[in-house]
Structure 1
Amino acid sequence: MTAAGDGPWLDDAAGRLVRPFTVSDGRTRPTIALDLMSQVMATGSAPFGYLGPEHAQALDVSRAPVSVAEVAAHLKLPAAVTKVLLSDLVDCGALTMKPPAFHHQPTDRSLLEAVLDGLRRQL
């Protein structure tokens, strides 16, 4: 006797069929320093060479400035894998990258207080 969830996995229930590390060809480190808050944006230049479908999806998401964390969420990939894909696109000139504005002081007190105030207003 089988339980209700023991049937065959179909479509979205099956999850990702390709392991994330194969998307980045086994690479775990990007060629450029990317922070989760770094902003990326497509340049409009066509990338040269073969790029996988995840690269194309990242370019599509990056038509307007978007953070690395947001791209990872849209692609449903770990941030480390997304950073490798985005660094490929920056290297070939298809994306530009801008570090976060508070890159040198990520714990700026006024920024943290503004975030806390905004959260309190939402609750």
Structure 2
Amino acid sequence: MDDTGEDYRDHPVRSFVLTGGRAEAKRQFRIDTLLIATDTDDPLPPAATRQARQLLELCSRMQSLVEAAALLGLPTSIVSVLASDLVDSNHLSWRQAIPKADAPDRDLLREVLHGLQKI
């Protein structure tokens, strides 16, 4: 950062304003949660923020929560609240990626692959 402070970038609006003062989303999204816009014809409410509109536009193609946060330049906690609101209004749908604990064992998959190759 130089002495003039020109390298400092901050949002002109405080994060709590973007979420209506809420710090936590209604849903427990993880950073790898996948978000995608739904095919609803319902317009966004007039009170929807510019960031919520941008999030919805980004999610016209599937995005993870962390990717969307990075592209929007917002903390994941803020994007979680915005995404939760968009899910409530049926503009977004979401799904969790498979947690590692629930993922199939690599050795088991290798055995299945070898068994299929022998057929």
Return the TM-score normalized by structure 2: 0.74
1:6 to partner: Cα distance: 2.5
SS of 1:69's equivalent in the other structure is helix
Which residue of structure 2 lines up, in the alignment, with residue 120 of structure 1?
A: none
Tell me how far 1:48 sits from its aligned partner: 3.5
CA offsets per residue over residues 71-120 of structure 1, 9 Å max, x none?
A: 110111111111000000000000001111227x278774xxxxxxxxxx
Does 2:4 correspond to 1:6?
A: yes
Partner of 2:54: 57
Unaligned runs of 5+ in 1: 111-123
Q: Hey, what's the Cα distance between the residues in 2 that align with 1:72 and 1:106?
A: 26
The answer to whether 1:39 aligns with 2:34 is yes
Cα drift, residue 49 of structure 1: 4.7
- Letter matched to residue 56 of structure 2: L
Identify unmatched segments of 5+ residues in structure 2: 107-119
Aligned sequence identity (%): 25
Change (3 A) 1:108 1:60: same
Q: Identify the residue that residue 17 of structure 1 maps to in structure 2.
A: 12
Larger Rg: 2
CA shift, 1:33, in A, is 1.8
RMSD: 2.3
How far, CA to CA, are the matches of 2:102 and 2:10 in structure 1? 35
Rounded to whole Å, the distance in 2 between the matches of 1:38 and 1:14 is 28
Deviation at 1:28, TM superposition (A): 0.9
Amino acid at match of 1:38: T
**1:72 aligned partner, one-letter code:** A
